[in-house]
Amino acid sequence: MDGVGSFGAGRAGAAFDPIAFIQQPQTILRILSWIFSIVVFGSIINEGYVNHGSERLYCVFNKNNNACNYGTTIGLIAFLACIFFIILDMKFQQISSIKDRKKAVMLDIGFSGFWAFLWFVGFCFLANQWQRTTPDMLPLNQGADAARAAITFSFFSIFTWAGLTARAVQKYMLGTDMNLFTTEHVDGNPPIQPYPTGPITEPNDTYQSPPFTENLDSTAPTYQVPIY
């Protein structure tokens, strides 16, 4: 796992290295997921509808508009989500609060895992509807390439989003390195100085009254009772 410290990142406020960021496996997976999503929803929008014998457009997947709508929706949301998470990854090291970093990682785990599942459902749904599509529904094989591209890259997206989920889980398992942060970073409040726990010692130069003494100075004059 690249990086050290809190949830796989270094000290807050460190300089951003774009070359190292692009070379990270997580960034590569996000870029691939972004490209795959463009192929899926772009293919369906551009060539996923045909008008066979009427002015009404039908989805190439067995004339089931739900199949085209599903592929377009998850592809478009995945496209926007990839942009959001790439920006979040760029700003992640600038987040000083451990709690905020934890929330960002948990959001990544939840969304990536859920979207990997949706891509799996989408692949099965599109492949099933394409299998049921008869040649007479697509004159001159119109839209066939777009349908195959959507199915293929839906399949690839399952693995890229599953990989993103695994990377996010690894970041979460790293936990936090408390040596990089103070109480102010953790709680968002200024640190409070603790009370001393050791024994309290009195200063040695305190004033003490001299004790009463019975001894008198031998050089001082004394009074003698006269003898008669």
- Kindly tell me the burial class for residue 47, based on how many C-beta atoms sit within 10 Å of its own C-beta (0-12, 13-18, 19 or more): middle
The letter for the amino acid at 210 is P
The pLDDT, as a whole number, for residue 2 is 41
Alpha carbon dihedral 121, 124, 128, 133, in 10-degree steps, equals: 80
Between 57 and 117, where is the model more confident?
Answer: 117
Q: How confident is the model at residue 1 (pLDDT cuts 50, 70, 90)?
A: very low
- What pLDDT, on the 0 to 100 scale, is given for residue 139? 73
Least confident of 24-38, 112-126, 129-143, 168-182: 168-182
Name the more confident of 134 and 78. Answer: 78
Name the one residue in this structure whose structure tokens are 């785990």. 109
DSSP E strands in the chain: the ranges are: 49-50, 58-59
For the chain, what percent of residues have pLDDT higher than 70?
A: 69
- What pLDDT is recorded for position 155? 97
d(CA 87, CA 59): 35
Q: What is the pLDDT of residue 178?
A: 45
Q: Which comes out higher in pLDDT, residue 156 or 207? A: 156
Q: What is the pTM of this model?
A: 0.71
Over residues 19-77, the pLDDT tens digits come to 888 999 999 999 999 999 999 999 999 998 988 767 788 899 998 999 999 999 999 99
pLDDT at 143: 85
Tens of pLDDT along 161-202?
Answer: 999 999 999 888 887 544 444 444 444 455 455 555 555 555
Are 150 and 126 spatial neighbours (Cβ–Cβ below 8 Å)? yes
Residue 173 pLDDT: 86
Q: What is the pLDDT of residue 21?
A: 87
| Per-residue confidence (pLDDT) for residue 209, from 0 to 100 | 54
pLDDT band (50, 70, 90) for residue 138 = confident
Mean pLDDT of 109-124: 97
Burial of residue 61 (CB within 10 Å: 0-12, 13-18, 19+) is: buried
**Taking the CA of residue 8 as centre, how many other CA atoms within 13 Å lie in the half-sphere pointing to its CB?**
18
Contact 144, 44 (CB under 8 A): no
Please tell me the predicted confidence (pLDDT) of residue 146: 92
b/e per residue 152-183 (b: at least 16 CB within 10 A): bbbbbbbbbbbbbbbbbeebbebebeeebbee
